[in-house]
Amino acid sequence: MTYDPLQALIAAGAVPANSFPPNSRYAATPVKVHEGIAYLGRRLVPQPDRLGTLGEHAVVEGDRLDNLSARYLGDPELWWRIADGNPAGHPDELTATVGARLRITTQEGMPGVPDA
């Protein structure tokens, strides 16, 4: 195996283990190292019933999760928080049916919101 100085610095804790921005769904996901190779640890999606509800949205034609998260959460890159609160096999399924109700949820463990 070839020596990689960047991987060595990550493994030694000298380089921040995660450089994702705070609004990324991976911001709290650790970078792990196995046999000198850095990789992103698994992000466990929270159970939707553990998330507090801020409100609901009835899907209309043309809705997209990034536009909904900009409207309700103030940041289009937080679309994944809407996806976390509404179970689906693929995020696009959430806005595919006009009239479907989407929960707009808080993040897991948000202070002031009781856990289920």
Q: What is the pLDDT of residues 90-111, one digit of tens each?
A: 999 999 999 999 999 887 776 5
Q: How many CB atoms lie within 10 A of CB 65?
A: 20
The confidence band for 116, taking pLDDT boundaries of 50, 70 and 90, is very low
Which residues face 104 on adjacent strands?
55
Rounded average pLDDT over 49-53: 86
pLDDT in tens, 7-34: 666 566 655 556 777 888 777 777 787 8
pLDDT of 71 > 80? The answer is yes
Check residues 55 and 15 and name the one with the higher pLDDT.
55
Q: How high is the pLDDT of residue 79?
A: 93
List Cβ neighbours of 100 (8 Å cut-off, separation of 6 or more).
58, 59, 94
Q: Which 3 state secondary structure label does DSSP give 49?
A: helix
DSSP 62-102: T--HHHHHHHHHS-GGGHHHHHHHS--SSGGGGGSSTT-EE
Q: Give the pLDDT of residue 1.
A: 59
- Say what the pLDDT of residue 73 is: 93
Separation of alpha carbons 69 and 51, rounded Å:
16
- pLDDT for res 78: 92
